[in-house]
């Protein structure tokens, strides 16, 4: 005789009957729960049929009371399949006991998502045995399955309509905290004039595009902002570098710290004093929580996975930097513009989900080179389309010195804000120290 114990999947017949009964008992219940309740959350097929019946009745502006449900099921030869007239009346009686239909619906969805986890667990286990597929492909598929559940869970917990009164109450509470210094809703970039232009700094949940032609300093300002945020807030920042290796980025940071050019550091011919300065820089940089991922061709899904791993281990993030957008797609492929638009959309969703600002660096088109005035404009965004639409802020970098070596504005970079969804546009100037890979605040007003 087998001693094997059968483990039943998580479900509750009574809970399902309470939710269905509440729909029949109070006609407005369905309006409150149908946006979060998946029909598959009902474990029993008979309950799925009844719920589908209620949806059809409601969509046709008909009541979902027991008599209407019985008549519809009867007309469609489904009444016997769900247990007959007495079963519908029994379920309707449960509605009188349902205290909070939304809470019960959430509990029902929790059980459904748990069942999906069990199912996907078996699927992932099968993938582990399938040695005919590349391991990275299998890992990507496994992550997609898990994130599909995560997304559905987010919908059930966040998909709700809020009244203006409740939103105003939340805003008032935030402003009161700001007033007494308990909360700061914006994140300083470390550049005073840029913070002022952006209304205080970066805001969590926003997508910021920093664009420029090659050699303008996109990577420098992006990595500088990450450094400034992590060094001041002690919150971890993540740099996804598709163009440079992690070692190259760290070398740039060390150059800025110790005041020795990158070229001199790479040569390794340091005197005693320089070596001491370098060791101090290494110790200082080691204390700042910056994480660098230099995988050359990440997908949006892989970026999301790595972000969540860092957040799980190290907590709330300071900023995420992606350097740079166009390297995430093969320029020889079709529909590059659409693919870049979808990537920028995924980055925007990730910013909102993780409540962190995301800065995506972007190339500008060659149209800039064909004009007398080389200062970039919004339409210069390469494959701009949806990138421009998804961005909350678009900043463009221009250095006159690059085009006009004899300019009076040497070592000056213009940061031009061409889009600011929640504030003003305009231009500020920063001091450049390119040999040491740094941007600095100007010591005087422009």
> Smallest Cα–Cα separation from 439: which of 252, 276, 286, 265?
252
- Tell me, what DSSP letter sits at residue 244? S
> 23 is in which domain, residue-wise?
13-158
> Pick from 107, 124, 158: which residue ends a domain?
158
pLDDT of res. 120:
84
Joined together, the tokens standing for residue 347 give 């980055």
Q: Are residues 116 and 154 in the same domain?
A: yes
| Kind and range of the H or E run holding 208 | strand 207-212
pLDDT of res. 332:
63
Q: Are residues 147 and 206 in the same domain?
A: no
Q: Are residues 429 and 314 in the same domain?
A: yes
pLDDT of res. 320:
92
Q: Are residues 145 and 184 in the same domain?
A: no
Backbone angles phi, psi at 16, to 5 degrees: -65, -40
Beta bridge partners of 207: 358
Query: Are the C-beta atoms of 429 and 415 separated by less than 8 Å?
Result: yes
Q: Are residues 328 and 384 in the same domain?
A: yes
Q: Are residues 19 and 78 in the same domain?
A: yes
pLDDT of res. 167:
63
Side-chain-facing half-sphere of 153: CA atoms under 13 Å: 15
Over the stretch 184-238, which tens digit does the pLDDT of each residue have? 568 888 898 888 888 888 988 899 999 888 888 888 889 899 989 998 888 889 9
pLDDT of res. 101:
77
Does residue 4 belong to any structural domain of this protein? no
> Pick from 99, 124, 158: which residue ends a domain?
158
Report the distance separating Cα 199 and Cα 202, nearest Å: 8
Joined together, the tokens standing for residue 393 give 């802020």
Does residue 165 belong to any structural domain of this protein? no
pLDDT of res. 445:
40
Q: What pTM did the predictor assign?
A: 0.66
> Pick from 158, 189, 204: which residue ends a domain?
158
Distances from the Cα of 396 to the Cαs of 115, 179, 361, in angstroms? Answer: 48, 32, 10
For the domain that residue 39 is a member of, what is the CATH number? Answer: 1.10.860.10
Does residue 321 belong to any structural domain of this protein? yes
Over the stretch 168-181, which tens digit does the pLDDT of each residue have? 766 677 666 666 65
Q: Are residues 421 and 277 in the same domain?
A: yes
Report the distance separating Cα 240 and Cα 154, nearest Å: 25
Which of the residues in the chain have pLDDT under 70? Answer: 1-6, 97-99, 148-167, 169-171, 174-185, 330-334, 382-385, 443-446
Task: State how many domains the chain has.
Answer: 2
Query: Are the C-beta atoms of 321 and 246 separated by less than 8 Å?
Result: no
For the domain that residue 213 is a member of, what is the CATH number? Answer: 3.40.50.300
- Report helix angle 13-25 to 45-59, nearest 10: 20
Write the Ramachandran bin of 190: left for phi over 0, alpha for psi from -120 to 50, otherwise beta. Answer: left
> Smallest Cα–Cα separation from 393: which of 344, 337, 324, 323?
344
Q: Are residues 147 and 185 in the same domain?
A: no
């Amino acid at each position: 005789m087998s001693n094997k114990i059968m483990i039943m999947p998580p479900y509750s017949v009574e809970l399902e009957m309470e939710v269905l009964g509440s729909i029949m008992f109070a006609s407005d219940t369905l309006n409150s729960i149908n946006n979060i309740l998946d029909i598959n959350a009902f474990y029993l097929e008979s309950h799925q049929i009844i719920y589908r019946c209620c949806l059809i009745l409601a969509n046709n502006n008909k009541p979902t009371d027991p008599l209407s449900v019985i008549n519809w099921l009867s007309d469609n030869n489904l009444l016997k399949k769900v247990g007959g007239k007495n079963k519908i009346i029994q379920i309707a009686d449960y509605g009188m006991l349902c205290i909070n239909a939304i809470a019960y619906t959430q509990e029902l969805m929790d059980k459904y998502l748990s069942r999906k986890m069990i199912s996907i667990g078996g699927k992932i286990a099968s993938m582990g045995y399938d040695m005919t597929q590349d391991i990275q492909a299998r890992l990507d598929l496994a992550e997609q399955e898990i994130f599909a559940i995560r997304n559905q869970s987010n919908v059930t917990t966040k998909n709700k309509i809020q009244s203006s009164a409740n939103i105003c109450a939340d805003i008032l509470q935030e402003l009161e905290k700001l007033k007494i210094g308990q909360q700061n809703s914006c994140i300083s970039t470390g550049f005073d004039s840029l913070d002022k232009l952006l209304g205080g700094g970066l805001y969590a949940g926003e997508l910021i595009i920093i664009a420029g032609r090659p050699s303008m300093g996109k990577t420098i300002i992006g990595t500088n902002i990450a450094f400034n945020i992590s060094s001041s807030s002690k919150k971890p920042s993540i740099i996804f570098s598709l163009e440079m290796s992690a070692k190259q980025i760290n070398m740039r940071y060390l150059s800025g710290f110790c005041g020795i050019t990158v070229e001199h550091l790479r040569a390794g011919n340091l005197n005693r004093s320089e070596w001491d300065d370098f060791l101090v820089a290494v110790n200082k940089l080691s204390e700042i929580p910056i994480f660098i991922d230099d995988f050359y061709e990440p997908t949006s899904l892989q970026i999301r996975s790595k972000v969540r791993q860092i957040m799980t281990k190290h907590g709330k993030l300071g900023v995420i930097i992606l350097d740079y957008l166009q390297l995430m797609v093969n320029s020889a492929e079709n529909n590059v513009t659409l693919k870049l638009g979808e990537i920028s959309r995924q980055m925007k969703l990730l910013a909102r989900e993780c409540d962190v600002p995301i800065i995506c660096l972007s190339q500008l088109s060659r149209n800039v080179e064909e004009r007398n005035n080389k200062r970039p404009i919004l339409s210069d965004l390469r494959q701009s389309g949806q990138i421009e639409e998804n961005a909350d802020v678009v900043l463009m970098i221009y250095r006159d010195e690059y085009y006009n070596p004899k300019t009076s504005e040497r070592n000056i970079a213009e940061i031009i804000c061409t889009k600011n969804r929640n504030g003003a546009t305009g231009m500020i100037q920063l001091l450049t120290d390119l040999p040491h890979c740094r941007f600095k605040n100007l010591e005087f007003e422009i």
